[in-house]
Structure 1
């Protein structure tokens, strides 16, 4: 073969390899990778900030026990979704397929940190008297078991997701998660942002400009990445110059924390500990199933038709894997698949994200990043997530049901107030019981807030569903919903009068707690009777001359 033919063949081979690389990794994939990674980092950052900073949880347990398994679930889920996308591209013979993005779910991850893990640790340590190390291990086992419970629940519901959507109005499903978004995902991170306003507000402003205002950034940079870089530069630049005072902490040397997320049986020891938290865990799983159905539909509308059941099964499997391997935050498909498709992302962005997050949990650089950066740098994306969830709750709900969405916010507000007042889950039972009797005008204000906040997700669903039934003129359905509320109150599924917010048998309560439980349950029953009588009156009027 002449030498120039050899050169032509070599150039052709290089061109073919370059074409394959360009198909596998595009500029859109790079943008999608940074956006998805920062999103996951912000949630990991919140978990660490809440557990370590608020509740005094041992940092090493968070970084070497919780993070590896949690990150491994993200790796497994993204690889499954990448495989599904590759199969779809091959089946339809097109290269424009965008994989479903998967990551840590913001509402339930924040809820796990603030409503389950943090209060449980303080309860084990301060009320039960365990030493910090033992209390931390018990809390970690509770987190693992919680993920296993939610994963199994999601697996079962994967086969009945459409049935759930049919019987629970959208205002009840989206309104309850919007309440979490407003108070826990949006407001609490916003407070952290404004504690370091020059840094945090700059990042938040760029996120709002790029993601809500749809503004263009130089070099087609993703809005999340731009906000992250600007906030980080301001933090380190101003901090090194002494302009942030004590808020600045010079970066410590990175630590090599190697921890394999090996499967174990520790979750089995935590299963009995999950019982008081089932009113939170089961709605968390239900919301993820409904969310999976919605994101599958949004991807289908964008041109990528993924089987809904497969999306849900992959989500439940990755959550189960994370729980068995030590994780404490469940995974979920993100609703932004059409946005990633619009930026040109295809399949490799989820593979790269899964590898970066999963390996980061194993080799410890995720914890180094979280420790180096203040939460004000990572938090702006969470505020955007909160705004998006709330906006979707109103846009995806019929306009006539908007009032039901608003009503669903109230129990979440009560839960936030309870957290800020000093979570009653860390108060001893005797002191908590005394809260009910310190007012001559009925139940004390503090106790009312606490009881309203306990089981707030299911309470929000019931209240919103009740209002939807009223708006639609289905008064007997409204009465049945109220009766369900009365029954759930008897067992503490909603309006629990226990310090932990846990469930119980009505006969197991003592002192002043049983009458309070009875009053709340009777309130639902009395209102159910009134609404039923109104339905008879309405029926008679409609049938009369």
Structure 2
């Protein structure tokens, strides 16, 4: 066989679909980031459009080009022109967790957008490091952490934070939001399609922009278009200062990045199953490196390999779409085109994507996990409720000057009399602050324990409980800060739980056995379903 450079056409007809998929979906993520940082948190435009957006664009450009190069190498090696480049983009799940689990509470706590930005960059850079390390330890962790625990925790974040934000924003402006929401749902939930197979979601977003303009909700402003090339010297200086601020948020950053590199692993394995043999480890290393580079230029959200390779391959996408998409996103970021988009797209239209992403995350958890683990998913979702309640109550208490400290990440932010007053007033507050601190890790721990109980592996439940004890004793979970405290009541509780599970495990063949009648009933129900 002859090896020649032209084995892969740079662009072919099937690349149009891949280009549309990659550009439009990444733009949606950009708009969500802008809406959150500028609209909700009131970060200055010089940070959002001068650093965050260009930093994201630089990371995505590098990722898109690298995956196209990987695809080209596979095509050249295997002598076939039908290789499809891995779809690269902002990790939607990790983006929402970073925005709502790290950046938002941190911004409210420090009350200084520049400090919050510095910490967000540091968190993003650390996330890149964890993604890189995932290339080494990822396969080992994937085998040991039940998928129900990981997806259940992420589903909880999506349902509690994203879905509620989306629905509330829609009903804040129902004249605009409700019609747009229904049109979007035709495609997202009803699988409708308009002529030429135009997705209703695209029609909802584009039509919603036009509708909002007709209602006078938005305006077109090109005055901020220009060159937004970030100075990495400035951003790196801020980022270095931010590492001291993110310590209380490690319990959020670490698990979401673990999920992120497992997501990359799953999606690359899906590409391999479709016939394109990509290196999982190489893709994870690339995601980590480009996320770190993005952070150095001001970015605050990580890169990942997206789901959708199989569909892109089916439509005939090659490698060219990835390069062109990267160039488009780079130019849009550094030329300030997103300043125009942020002005013409109203909050109610952006809310559609919030709702869509949230429901998709929730449905994915129940779609890809075996039915018997549904209980584990449900339990893993609960800690996100505590996170949500804590944020809402602390925000309201802050207006009344009852917030005694400025660090909204731990369990000691309120004086005992305030906590007692909340409880006496009927607020569901007991244990809320404790579960909020490290909610993602707690969700993974609880979901994992339930999954192992379903598998009737109490020895593994004990191990997870002991891990929870260690994490509690060093302050990763249930604590306001990372500190060693062996009298920590939550750590002791996990320790006792682990011992109890070991005792029960040793009695599994004698006095602690599953009810055979119930096992038969459960198996019958599963077969009927």
The DSSP-based 3-state class of the residue aligned with 2:483 is: coil
Q: Map of 1:208-357 to 2, 5 A cutoff?
A: 208-237=185-214, 239-240=215-216, 248-264=217-233, 265-266=236-237, 267-357=239-329
Q: For the Cα contact (< 8 Å) 2:131–2:257, is it kept in 1?
A: yes
Correspondence for 1:469 = 452
Q: For the Cα contact (< 8 Å) 2:36–2:99, is it kept in 1?
A: yes
Describe the shift of the 1:440–1:262 C-alpha distance in structure 2 as closer, same or farther (beyond 3 A). Answer: closer
Give, in whole Å, the separation in 1 of the partners of 2:422 and 2:390.
18
Correspondence for 1:177 = 154
Q: For the Cα contact (< 8 Å) 2:156–2:381, is it kept in 1?
A: yes
Structure 1 residue runs of 5 or longer lacking an equivalent are: 1-19, 126-134, 241-247, 508-513
Q: For the Cα contact (< 8 Å) 2:218–2:345, is it kept in 1?
A: no
2:117 is equivalent to residue 140 of structure 1 = yes
**Could you give the per-residue CA deviations for residues 169-227 of structure 1, whole angstroms, max 9, x where no partner exists?**
11122222222222233332232233333544444444443344443332233454333
2:25 is equivalent to residue 39 of structure 1 = yes
Give, in whole Å, the separation in 2 of the partners of 1:447 and 1:423.
18
Q: How far is 1:80 from its partner?
A: 0.8
The DSSP-based 3-state class of the residue aligned with 2:136 is: coil
Describe the shift of the 1:36–1:450 C-alpha distance in structure 2 as closer, same or farther (beyond 3 A). Answer: farther
1:433 aligned residue (415, 418, 425): 415
TM normalised by structure 2 equals 0.85
Larger radius of gyration: 1
Q: For the Cα contact (< 8 Å) 1:123–1:425, is it kept in 2?
A: no
1:524 aligned residue (479, 487, 494): 494
Correspondence for 1:478 = 461
2:134 is equivalent to residue 157 of structure 1 = yes
Give, in whole Å, the separation in 1 of the partners of 2:321 and 2:178.
28
Correspondence for 2:483 = 504
**Could you give the per-residue CA deviations for residues 77-110 of structure 1, whole angstroms, max 9, x where no partner exists?**
1111111122222333333322111111122222
Q: For the Cα contact (< 8 Å) 1:414–1:450, is it kept in 2?
A: yes
1:99 aligned residue (85, 107, 110): 85
RMSD: 2.8
Q: For the Cα contact (< 8 Å) 2:155–2:362, is it kept in 1?
A: yes
Moved more, 208-217 or 69-78: 208-217
Moved more, 274-283 or 302-311: 302-311
Give, in whole Å, the separation in 2 of the partners of 1:198 and 1:26.
42
Describe the shift of the 1:323–1:184 C-alpha distance in structure 2 as closer, same or farther (beyond 3 A). Answer: same
Correspondence for 1:490 = 473
The DSSP-based 3-state class of the residue aligned with 2:431 is: helix
Q: For the Cα contact (< 8 Å) 1:85–1:347, is it kept in 2?
A: yes
Q: For the Cα contact (< 8 Å) 1:107–1:184, is it kept in 2?
A: no
Q: For the Cα contact (< 8 Å) 2:225–2:339, is it kept in 1?
A: no
1:189 aligned residue (158, 163, 166): 166
**Could you give the per-residue CA deviations for residues 119-175 of structure 1, whole angstroms, max 9, x where no partner exists?**
3233223xxxxxxxxx32222221221111111111112112110111111112222
Count how many residue pairs are aligned between Structure 1 and Structure 2. 493
Q: For the Cα contact (< 8 Å) 1:45–1:375, is it kept in 2?
A: no
